[in-house]
Protein backbone atom coordinates (compact mmCIF):
# COMPACT_ATOMS: atom_id res chain seq x y z
CA UNK A 1 0.00 0.00 0.00
CA UNK A 2 2.68 2.51 1.03
CA UNK A 3 4.82 1.82 -2.05
CA UNK A 4 1.83 2.31 -4.36
CA UNK A 5 0.86 5.61 -2.72
CA UNK A 6 4.44 6.85 -2.96
CA UNK A 7 4.55 5.92 -6.65
CA UNK A 8 1.41 7.97 -7.30
CA UNK A 9 2.79 11.04 -5.56
CA UNK A 10 6.22 10.77 -7.21
CA UNK A 11 4.99 10.14 -10.78
CA UNK A 12 6.67 12.74 -13.06
CA UNK A 13 4.20 15.46 -14.16
CA UNK A 14 5.10 15.00 -17.83
CA UNK A 15 4.09 11.32 -17.64
CA UNK A 16 0.78 12.26 -16.06
CA UNK A 17 0.06 14.85 -18.76
CA UNK A 18 0.77 12.28 -21.48
CA UNK A 19 -1.49 9.68 -19.86
CA UNK A 20 -4.28 12.23 -19.37
CA UNK A 21 -4.01 13.19 -23.06
CA UNK A 22 -4.29 9.53 -24.01
CA UNK A 23 -7.42 9.03 -21.93
CA UNK A 24 -8.91 12.35 -23.07
CA UNK A 25 -8.57 11.23 -26.67
CA UNK A 26 -10.80 8.26 -25.79
CA UNK A 27 -13.32 10.48 -24.00
CA UNK A 28 -12.81 8.85 -20.61
CA UNK A 29 -10.77 11.51 -18.76
CA UNK A 30 -12.74 13.72 -16.28
CA UNK A 31 -12.42 17.47 -16.58
CA UNK A 32 -10.25 17.71 -13.46
CA UNK A 33 -7.74 15.07 -14.60
CA UNK A 34 -5.09 17.57 -15.88
CA UNK A 35 -4.76 18.89 -12.32
CA UNK A 36 -3.18 15.57 -11.33
CA UNK A 37 0.07 16.98 -12.72
CA UNK A 38 0.14 19.16 -9.56
CA UNK A 39 1.85 17.38 -6.67
CA UNK A 40 -0.59 18.88 -4.13
CA UNK A 41 -3.53 17.32 -5.96
CA UNK A 42 -1.81 13.93 -6.05
CA UNK A 43 -1.17 14.18 -2.31
CA UNK A 44 -4.90 14.81 -1.77
CA UNK A 45 -5.72 11.77 -3.89
CA UNK A 46 -3.20 9.72 -1.90
CA UNK A 47 -4.84 10.78 1.38
CA UNK A 48 -8.24 9.70 0.08
CA UNK A 49 -6.85 6.36 -1.09
CA UNK A 50 -5.35 5.68 2.34
CA UNK A 51 -8.68 6.36 4.03
CA UNK A 52 -10.52 4.16 1.54
CA UNK A 53 -8.02 1.34 2.04
CA UNK A 54 -8.42 1.42 5.82
CA UNK A 55 -12.23 1.24 5.60
CA UNK A 56 -12.97 -0.91 2.55
CA UNK A 57 -9.92 -3.11 1.88
CA UNK A 58 -7.88 -3.69 5.03
CA UNK A 59 -10.59 -5.80 6.75
CA UNK A 60 -10.44 -8.27 3.86
CA UNK A 61 -6.67 -8.26 3.40
CA UNK A 62 -6.06 -11.77 4.73
CA UNK A 63 -8.74 -13.36 2.57
CA UNK A 64 -7.68 -11.58 -0.62
CA UNK A 65 -4.07 -12.57 0.04
CA UNK A 66 -5.14 -16.19 0.55
CA UNK A 67 -6.84 -16.10 -2.85
CA UNK A 68 -3.63 -14.85 -4.47
CA UNK A 69 -1.58 -17.48 -2.62
CA UNK A 70 -3.91 -20.10 -4.05
CA UNK A 71 -3.48 -18.67 -7.55
CA UNK A 72 0.29 -18.80 -7.16
CA UNK A 73 0.04 -22.45 -6.10
CA UNK A 74 -2.11 -23.30 -9.14
CA UNK A 75 0.27 -21.64 -11.58
CA UNK A 76 3.34 -22.98 -9.81
CA UNK A 77 2.01 -26.50 -10.24
CA UNK A 78 1.24 -25.79 -13.91
CA UNK A 79 4.76 -24.43 -14.46
CA UNK A 80 6.32 -27.40 -12.68
CA UNK A 81 4.56 -29.98 -14.82
CA UNK A 82 4.10 -28.12 -18.11
CA UNK A 83 6.75 -25.41 -18.25
CA UNK A 84 5.88 -21.95 -19.64
CA UNK A 85 3.29 -23.49 -21.98
CA UNK A 86 1.55 -25.13 -19.04
CA UNK A 87 1.53 -21.87 -17.08
CA UNK A 88 0.17 -19.78 -19.97
CA UNK A 89 -2.50 -22.39 -20.70
CA UNK A 90 -3.85 -22.09 -17.14
CA UNK A 91 -4.49 -18.36 -16.90
CA UNK A 92 -8.25 -18.65 -16.72
CA UNK A 93 -11.25 -18.21 -19.00
CA UNK A 94 -10.33 -14.74 -20.28
CA UNK A 95 -7.07 -15.89 -21.89
CA UNK A 96 -6.21 -18.58 -24.41
CA UNK A 97 -2.64 -19.70 -25.18
CA UNK A 98 -2.03 -20.68 -28.83
CA UNK A 99 1.78 -20.66 -29.19
CA UNK A 100 3.30 -18.21 -29.75
CA UNK A 101 0.31 -15.91 -29.15
CA UNK A 102 -1.59 -15.27 -25.92
CA UNK A 103 -5.15 -14.35 -26.90
CA UNK A 104 -6.84 -12.10 -24.34
CA UNK A 105 -10.50 -11.04 -24.10
CA UNK A 106 -9.62 -7.37 -23.84
CA UNK A 107 -12.23 -4.78 -22.74
CA UNK A 108 -11.69 -2.53 -25.79
CA UNK A 109 -11.31 -3.00 -29.53
CA UNK A 110 -9.12 -5.68 -31.07
CA UNK A 111 -5.43 -4.85 -30.94
CA UNK A 112 -2.06 -6.55 -31.16
CA UNK A 113 0.55 -6.02 -28.47
CA UNK A 114 4.09 -6.87 -29.51
CA UNK A 115 6.52 -7.35 -26.66
CA UNK A 116 9.55 -6.63 -28.83
CA UNK A 117 11.93 -8.42 -26.50
CA UNK A 118 10.27 -7.16 -23.32
CA UNK A 119 9.19 -9.66 -20.73
CA UNK A 120 5.58 -10.02 -19.59
CA UNK A 121 4.83 -9.64 -15.89
CA UNK A 122 1.62 -11.47 -14.94
CA UNK A 123 -0.16 -9.81 -12.02
CA UNK A 124 -3.20 -11.62 -10.57
CA UNK A 125 -5.44 -9.03 -8.91
CA UNK A 126 -8.23 -9.76 -6.47
CA UNK A 127 -9.93 -6.58 -7.70
CA UNK A 128 -9.81 -7.45 -11.41
CA UNK A 129 -13.17 -9.18 -11.90
CA UNK A 130 -13.55 -8.77 -15.63
CA UNK A 131 -11.26 -8.86 -18.63
CA UNK A 132 -7.48 -8.51 -18.17
CA UNK A 133 -5.83 -5.10 -18.57
CA UNK A 134 -2.33 -4.22 -19.76
CA UNK A 135 -0.26 -1.04 -19.85
CA UNK A 136 -0.81 1.24 -22.82
CA UNK A 137 2.67 2.79 -22.82
CA UNK A 138 4.98 0.77 -25.11
CA UNK A 139 8.07 2.26 -23.45
CA UNK A 140 7.32 0.68 -20.04
CA UNK A 141 7.90 -2.92 -18.95
CA UNK A 142 4.77 -4.82 -19.95
CA UNK A 143 2.35 -5.86 -17.21
CA UNK A 144 -0.83 -7.92 -17.63
CA UNK A 145 -3.28 -7.62 -14.72
CA UNK A 146 -5.88 -10.37 -14.65
CA UNK A 147 -8.44 -12.06 -12.42
CA UNK A 148 -7.24 -15.13 -10.50
CA UNK A 149 -9.02 -18.44 -11.07
CA UNK A 150 -12.68 -17.81 -10.35
CA UNK A 151 -13.01 -20.75 -7.95
CA UNK A 152 -10.63 -19.02 -5.53
CA UNK A 153 -12.88 -15.94 -5.44
CA UNK A 154 -16.29 -17.50 -4.78
CA UNK A 155 -16.39 -17.02 -1.01
CA UNK A 156 -14.22 -17.42 2.10
CA UNK A 157 -15.65 -20.92 2.47
CA UNK A 158 -15.03 -24.06 0.47
CA UNK A 159 -15.81 -24.31 -3.21
CA UNK A 160 -18.44 -26.83 -4.26
CA UNK A 161 -15.72 -29.21 -5.48
CA UNK A 162 -14.02 -29.21 -2.08
CA UNK A 163 -17.10 -29.24 0.15
CA UNK A 164 -17.32 -33.09 0.40
CA UNK A 165 -13.67 -33.11 1.44
CA UNK A 166 -14.57 -30.62 4.17
CA UNK A 167 -17.08 -33.09 5.56
CA UNK A 168 -14.38 -35.77 5.73
CA UNK A 169 -11.44 -33.74 7.05
CA UNK A 170 -13.10 -30.65 8.44
CA UNK A 171 -13.26 -27.29 6.68
CA UNK A 172 -9.88 -25.97 7.90
CA UNK A 173 -7.86 -29.07 7.02
CA UNK A 174 -9.59 -29.34 3.64
CA UNK A 175 -8.61 -25.75 2.84
CA UNK A 176 -5.05 -26.36 3.98
CA UNK A 177 -4.72 -29.57 1.99
CA UNK A 178 -5.90 -27.74 -1.11
CA UNK A 179 -3.41 -24.91 -0.48
CA UNK A 180 -0.47 -27.37 -0.42
CA UNK A 181 -1.12 -28.37 -4.06
CA UNK A 182 1.65 -26.06 -5.25
CA UNK A 183 3.71 -26.12 -2.07
CA UNK A 184 3.19 -23.72 0.84
CA UNK A 185 4.74 -22.65 4.10
CA UNK A 186 3.00 -22.89 7.45
CA UNK A 187 2.34 -19.15 7.35
CA UNK A 188 0.78 -19.36 3.91
CA UNK A 189 -1.45 -22.22 5.04
CA UNK A 190 -2.48 -20.22 8.10
CA UNK A 191 -3.53 -17.32 5.88
CA UNK A 192 -5.35 -19.61 3.45
CA UNK A 193 -7.41 -21.13 6.28
CA UNK A 194 -7.66 -17.92 8.36
CA UNK A 195 -6.14 -19.55 11.46
CA UNK A 196 -3.14 -18.81 13.67
CA UNK A 197 0.30 -20.20 12.87
CA UNK A 198 0.09 -22.44 15.96
CA UNK A 199 -3.24 -23.87 14.83
CA UNK A 200 -1.87 -24.35 11.31
CA UNK A 201 1.03 -26.38 12.73
CA UNK A 202 -1.40 -28.68 14.54
CA UNK A 203 -3.46 -29.21 11.39
CA UNK A 204 -0.40 -29.89 9.22
CA UNK A 205 0.77 -32.47 11.77
CA UNK A 206 -2.58 -34.27 11.43
CA UNK A 207 -2.43 -34.15 7.63
CA UNK A 208 1.19 -35.38 7.68
CA UNK A 209 0.39 -38.26 10.03
CA UNK A 210 -2.41 -39.28 7.66
CA UNK A 211 0.05 -39.40 4.75
CA UNK A 212 -1.63 -36.55 2.87
CA UNK A 213 1.27 -34.06 2.96
CA UNK A 214 5.01 -34.05 3.55
CA UNK A 215 6.89 -31.32 5.40
CA UNK A 216 10.49 -30.18 5.50
CA UNK A 217 12.40 -27.29 7.01
CA UNK A 218 13.95 -24.60 4.82
CA UNK A 219 15.86 -22.31 7.17
CA UNK A 220 13.33 -20.67 9.52
CA UNK A 221 10.35 -21.87 7.46
CA UNK A 222 8.61 -25.22 7.28
CA UNK A 223 7.40 -26.02 3.76
CA UNK A 224 4.60 -28.45 2.97
CA UNK A 225 3.72 -30.29 -0.23
CA UNK A 226 0.92 -32.64 -1.12
CA UNK A 227 1.50 -36.40 -1.48
CA UNK A 228 0.03 -38.57 -4.26
CA UNK A 229 -2.51 -39.84 -1.73
CA UNK A 230 -3.46 -36.28 -0.80
CA UNK A 231 -3.72 -35.27 -4.46
CA UNK A 232 -5.97 -38.25 -5.22
CA UNK A 233 -8.18 -37.35 -2.28
CA UNK A 234 -8.31 -33.74 -3.45
CA UNK A 235 -9.33 -34.77 -6.97
CA UNK A 236 -12.31 -36.75 -5.74
CA UNK A 237 -13.84 -40.04 -6.91
CA UNK A 238 -14.65 -38.77 -10.40
CA UNK A 239 -10.99 -38.19 -11.27
CA UNK A 240 -8.96 -40.45 -9.02
CA UNK A 241 -7.60 -43.60 -10.62
What distance in Å separates the CA atoms of residue 133 and residue 136, rounded to the nearest whole number?
9
Boundary of a domain, candidates 37, 60, 83:
60
Bridge-based pairing of strands 213-218 and 142-146 is unpaired
In this structure, the answer to whether residues 69 and 148 fall within a common structural domain is yes
Structure confidence by residue, pLDDT tens digits, 61-95: 766 776 676 677 777 777 888 899 999 998 877 89
Bridge-based pairing of strands 142-146 and 120-124 is parallel
Boundary of a domain, candidates 35, 60, 85:
60
In this structure, the answer to whether residues 129 and 188 fall within a common structural domain is no
Contact between 214 and 208 under an 8 Å Cβ cutoff? The reply is yes
The CATH code of the domain that includes 168 is: 1.10.10.10
In this structure, the answer to whether residues 124 and 88 fall within a common structural domain is yes
Range of the domain at 178: 163-235
Sequence-ordered list of residues with C-beta below 8 angstroms from that of 96, at least 6 positions apart, any chain: 102, 103
The total number of structural domains that make up the chain: 3
Boundary of a domain, candidates 152, 179, 209:
152
Structure confidence by residue, pLDDT tens digits, 207-240: 998 888 888 887 788 888 888 788 778 766 543 3
Alpha-carbon dihedral angle through residues 79, 83, 88, 93, given to the nearest 10 degrees: -60
What distance in Å separates the CA atoms of residue 18 and residue 22, rounded to the nearest whole number?
6
Question: Whole-prediction pTM value?
Answer: 0.57
What distance in Å separates the CA atoms of residue 53 and residue 58, rounded to the nearest whole number?
6
Structure confidence by residue, pLDDT tens digits, 167-191: 567 888 888 888 887 788 899 899 8
Sequence-ordered list of residues with C-beta below 8 angstroms from that of 219, at least 6 positions apart, any chain: none
Amino acid sequence: MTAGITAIIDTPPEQIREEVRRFAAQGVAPAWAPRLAERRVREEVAFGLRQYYDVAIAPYHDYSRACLDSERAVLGQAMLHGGPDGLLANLGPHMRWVPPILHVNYPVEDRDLLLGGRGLLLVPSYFCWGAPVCLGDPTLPQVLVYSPHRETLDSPGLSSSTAPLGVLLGRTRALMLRATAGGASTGELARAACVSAAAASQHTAALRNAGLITSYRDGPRVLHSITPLGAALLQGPNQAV
